[in-house]
Amino acid sequence: MPANVLVVEDEPAIQELIAASLQHAGHRVLRADSAEDAVSLVNETLPDVVLLDWMLPGMSGIQYARRLRNDERTRDLPIIMLTARSEEQDKVAGLESGADDYLTKPFSPRELLARIKAVLRRRAPQMTEDCVEVDGLRVDPVTHRVSGNGQPLDLGPTEFRLLHFFMTHPERVHSRALLLDQVWGDHIFVEERTVDVHIRRLRASLEATGHDRLIQTVRGSGYRFSAQPE
């Protein structure tokens, strides 16, 4: 599934090579020459994954990774550290700063794409193309088909994204604000009650096969997707 990838790299040739590889694979690329530039970009639009060079002018990649992890909005943002530093203590420092993975230069485009896919599967499973099935409810993100106990179900595009996010993040309580950020996008400004409207539509679409029960209201907190009874 195409992802929005922020490349934070101050060497133009390397930045161009990475961007070309990502675009060829279908990803959308944002570019920053420094951590300070990256801060501005992330404030405008939250990317799906960050490729972060260690040695940057001004704020280092390590410092920026820590900053991302300390901010509630970017705490779970997947980070892959890119660096020529290959010593064990450097890798440990990179991972302890909050990076999800550590890729040593030089690296092949195929390895980079594989690492991105792996970190998205762990951190942001809604960005992958894997089918998801829970208690007879199945979602295929490639064909955008949904079925309950083998019966096709008709969902609108927003309800599909909402269900896919729920099913890739089960058993967690999601606030309305978080759902707006993750499903609508944090650059889209709509009222929180919009979530309630689409939850009602989603439940109505799932009612025919009894799967509406999987979407639970957690009073005062938001919603949870669970196969366990409330």
- Write out pLDDT tens, residues 46-90: 888 999 998 899 999 999 999 999 987 888 889 999 888 767 777
pLDDT at 2 over 70: yes
Rounded mean pLDDT of 179-184?
82
Whose tokens are 């019966």? That residue is 151
pLDDT grade for 44, boundaries at 50, 70 and 90? confident
Cα–Cα dist 141/164, whole Å: 8
Cα–Cα dist 114/103, whole Å: 11
Six-digit token pair at 178?
């978080």
Given this chain, do its domains 4-125 and 132-225 carry the same CATH topology?
no
CA distances in angstroms from 223 to 173, 181, 209, listed in the order given: 6, 14, 20
Six-digit token pair at 118?
């792996």
Q: Are 170 and 114 in contact (CB under 8 A)?
A: no
pLDDT grade for 209, boundaries at 50, 70 and 90? very high
pLDDT at 124 over 70: no
Residues comprising the chain, all counted? 230
pLDDT grade for 127, boundaries at 50, 70 and 90? low
pLDDT grade for 123, boundaries at 50, 70 and 90? low
CA distances in angstroms from 228 to 148, 193, 225, listed in the order given: 17, 26, 9
pLDDT of residue 77: 87
Residue 145's DSSP bridge partners are 140
Q: Sort residue 17 into left (φ over 0), alpha (ψ -120 to 50) or beta.
A: alpha
CATH class of 4-125: alpha beta
The predicted-structure confidence for 28-37, as pLDDT tens digits, reads as follows 899 999 999 9
pLDDT of residue 189: 67
pLDDT of residue 188: 59
Give the burial class of 3: count Cβ atoms within 10 A of its Cβ; 0-12 exposed, 13-18 middle, 19 or more buried. Answer: buried
Return the CATH number of 132-225, one of 1.10.10.10, 3.30.470.20, 1.20.210.10, 1.25.60.10: 1.10.10.10
In the chain, where are the structural domains located?
A: 4-125, 132-225
pLDDT of residue 119: 85
Least confident of 53-62, 121-130, 194-203, 204-213: 121-130
